[in-house]
Chains A and B, each alone.
Chain A
Amino acid sequence: MSGDTILNVKDLTMRFGGVVAVNDLSFLAERHKITALIGPNGAGKTTVFNCITGFYKPTSGAMRLTHGDGRIIQLERLNDFRISKQAKVARTFQNIRLFPGMTALENLMVAQHNALMLASGLTFLGLIGAPSYRAAEKHAIDQAKQWLDRIGLLERADEAAGNLAYGDQRRLEIARAMCTEPALLCLDEPAAGLNARESAGLSELLLSIRSEGTSILLIEHDMSVVMEISDHIVVMDYGVKIAEGAPQAVRDDPKVVAAYLGADEEEAIAVMESGT
């Protein structure tokens, strides 16, 4: 089981002044699987995400990413854009961060920046309109088109991203992250604000992404989504891991129920009801 681990987080600690947001957290995420990170509000989930994706430098601990070809990358040694460029870890944000003044298609083109930048010979070949660049651009547009089709936004490709409906923006952000061709996709509450039908569509999309070979790390409050699609769940509370395991096992864990009950009654009920 531990033979095919994509992400190995070991003893991760993150302090902000005197506040310990994440304390000695260790967990594994497996390749081609969906790993969910859940917990009550303020448990430190997003902080873990920000450490993994290079937006925070962890106080201590190691995060080892193993690629399919055996390449090992220590994420804590890379900073911001290199995590996405070299380690191939993509992320979405809790509050959507699209480029609102650019079209849906342009958003997906920006995501393919690094590949296109190489193809354009660091701009010089592109400036003179070299055929090799034009081919690369066409390929990029095709890939963007394919993703727009998958998320059902092909018709609205030329609309400004800021004009799209909320659910469409969520899906577009996932498609944009996927256009960087990541090995590990980190989603921060992708189902937040979606209705039941949109959540179901999201689950389907995530499962299809998994089946194509991208591993997913997920923070989510919507338990129907988490329980349906996760292969492995890590539960956090007050910065520490309190439980982990398969969805069924985690749901029955008394410590998890207590954490949710103590923090938020509604969420606890949601956890328990989603199983029945």
Chain B
Amino acid sequence: MGERSKTEANVKSTAPAGTRVTVPAPDLPQASRSAGIAFIFKKAVISALVALVLFSLMIGIRTEAGPTGQLIYWTRFDDLATIVAVVFGGSIVVELLRQWWGPIGTVRVVPPSVQSALGLARRAIAPLLLIFTFLVPVIFYDQRYILDLGILVLTYVMLGWGLNVVVGLAGLLDLGYVAFYAVGAYSYALLSTNFGLSFWVCLPLAGILAAFWGVLLGFPVLRLRGDYLAIVTLAFGEIIRLVIINWQSLTGGPNGVPSIPRPSFFGIPLTPGEDGLAARLGIEFSPTHRIVFLFYLILALALLTNWVTIRLRRLPIGRAWEALREDEVACRALGINTTTTKLTAFATGAMFGGFAGAFFATRQGFISPESFTFQESALVLAIVVLGGMGSQLGVALAALTLIGGFELFRGFDQYRMLVFGMAMVLLMIWRPRGLIGHRAPTVFLRQSKAISSELAREGRG
């Protein structure tokens, strides 16, 4: 089946645009399975050969400098043989898994009953996840670590949803999203430490300022598309970081902004003192209260992002974003102002990034430019791509997998990155369009049919 799906893909790509491609009818599962055995074996042998060549020097021979500086080397052919065998076996397993759970759009060797059960599970997963998230502070009240991790995951869920507007819906590849996160964080930090403004006043201000910077970035880069746009946004992210580092008088430079005020419960501080929330409610003070409050705060912010995005998608502006991703020339022919449409996408995404940044600042109590490196942008983008461009649930799941999974493997220490990278590669093999690889129509007459992302374009900026 792997071979057949490949030829199908070839037919699709070589056929002239616009002509109808008839996809061959799916074979019986048995037929495709038996035809695949030789193919799987061949592939495994090739993989093993590649591994042999690759690792023969890296693992097969070990070199070291001797006590007098001479070269000492010895062979480790048993290790090499193990690696090659693992690659051989692994290749067979991967190929079998791939056939069983192929990429979206290809015929799967899964019985229909299992498929319908999976479909049901898929529909139930979003509400269940939401209920579970609400209950996390109740269940894990005593486990500070889990609560902190939950806050971290939710922050990235929110960032992912924010970037999803720009990358997933409008199809504008933004590699400098962390800049808006930084603008939001520094807006709150500086406004509150210098002018004593409260978190609730600063939150919208941080969003507005970030959106403003989004528009400012948007203007010069509107003519750019695809890879060019990505490079400029990347540069923008670095510019913001460098300005923060070097504008010492305002931002404190590399030392960051210390002692940022903690958020209050709508004016009531969460402190052990007389007028604290605990004292007013007549309960014993506990530092966990603040963590739980922060948890629900970021949950509310993330859900707001989600709600607004879902609403926007069904409004003309959201449809214009998606149309822009699909075909910019056609948009212009239909009288859609592509300039303002792109700018609103940038501004909306940036605004949510700004909100998340303000939250980050108040949670940490201290921010420095180190928190806003390119790695953060890459991580958020990975969440969006992994989740499936434009899919809200997919982004949430991807954030959970990436951030949560990353923490889970903390025990593995140096192998953590290796496992992380391997997981990413495997996921992209099975789900080349992300975890949730289809888009739901924004409006329908009779029945909302999910559209395979194979049809949707990824956007050229």
Complex Cα spacing A165 to B448, Å: 20
Contact status B18-A102, CB under 8 Å: no
Contact status A114-B445, CB under 8 Å: no
- Residues of chain B within 8 A (CB-CB) of A193 are 18-19
Contact of A100 among B326, B329, B448 (CB under 8 A): B326
Contact of B327 among A85, A97, A160, A165 (CB under 8 A): A97
Contact of A114 among B18, B335, B456 (CB under 8 A): B335
Measured between C-beta atoms, what is the minimum distance from A82 to chain B in Å? 8
- Residues of chain A within 8 A (CB-CB) of B74 are none
Q: Find the residue from A55, A81, A141 having the highest chain B CB count within 10 A.
A: A81
Stretch at the interface among A87-95, A203-211, A227-235, A254-262: A87-95
Chain A contact residue count (CB 8 A cutoff): 51
- Interface: B392 (CB within 8 A): no
- Residues of chain B within 8 A (CB-CB) of A165 are 20
Contact status B334-A84, CB under 8 Å: yes
Contact status B333-A113, CB under 8 Å: no
- Residues of chain A within 8 A (CB-CB) of B338 are 80-81
Q: B242-266 toward A: CB 8 Å interface, digit per residue (1/0)? A: 0000000000000000000000000
Contact of A120 among B19, B316, B326, B344 (CB under 8 A): B316
- Interface: B457 (CB within 8 A): yes
Q: B422-461 toward A: CB 8 Å interface, digit per residue (1/0)? A: 0000000000000000010111111111011101110000
Q: Taking CB as reference atom, which chain A residue is nearest B452?
A: A160
- Residues of chain B within 8 A (CB-CB) of A32 are none
Contact of B335 among A55, A85, A96, A159 (CB under 8 A): A85
Measured between C-beta atoms, what is the minimum distance from B254 to chain A in Å? 40
Contact status A157-B444, CB under 8 Å: yes
Contact status B315-A53, CB under 8 Å: no
From residue 323 to 373 of chain B, which have CB atoms closer than 8 A to chain A?
Answer: 323, 326-327, 329-338, 344
- Interface: B203 (CB within 8 A): no
Q: Taking CB as reference atom, which chain B residue is nearest A92?
A: B333
The answer to whether residues A126 and B322 also contact, given A85-B335, A95-B17, A158-B447 and a CB cut-off of 8 A, is no
- Residues of chain B within 8 A (CB-CB) of A100 are 326, 455-457
Q: A94-115 toward B: CB 8 Å interface, digit per residue (1/0)? A: 0111111111011001111110
- Residues of chain A within 8 A (CB-CB) of B308 are 127
Contact status B333-A110, CB under 8 Å: no
Complex Cα spacing A105 to B333, Å: 18
- Residues of chain B within 8 A (CB-CB) of A109 are 316, 319, 442-443
Contact status B451-A103, CB under 8 Å: yes
- Interface: B320 (CB within 8 A): yes
- Interface: A116 (CB within 8 A): yes
Contact status B448-A158, CB under 8 Å: yes
Contact status B451-A111, CB under 8 Å: no
- Residues of chain A within 8 A (CB-CB) of B447 are 158
Contact status A160-B444, CB under 8 Å: no
The answer to whether residues A180 and B334 also contact, given A99-B326, A100-B457, A102-B322 and a CB cut-off of 8 A, is yes
- Interface: A171 (CB within 8 A): no
Contact status B335-A84, CB under 8 Å: yes
- Residues of chain B within 8 A (CB-CB) of A85 are 335, 337
Contact status B335-A103, CB under 8 Å: no
Contact of A110 among B20, B320, B332 (CB under 8 A): B320
- Residues of chain B within 8 A (CB-CB) of A157 are 444-446
Contact status A114-B336, CB under 8 Å: yes
- Interface: A117 (CB within 8 A): yes
Known: A100-B457, A113-B336, A157-B445. 16 other contacts (CB 8 A): A81-B332, A99-B326, A100-B455, A101-B453, A102-B451, A103-B451, A105-B441, A106-B441, A113-B335, A114-B336, A117-B316, A120-B315, A157-B444, A160-B451, A160-B452, A160-B455
A-B contact pairs, 15 of them (CB 8 A): A81-B335, A84-B335, A95-B18, A99-B327, A100-B456, A101-B326, A101-B451, A102-B323, A105-B443, A109-B316, A114-B336, A120-B316, A120-B317, A158-B446, A166-B20
Closest 4 CB pairs of A and B: A101-B456, A84-B335, A85-B335, A99-B326
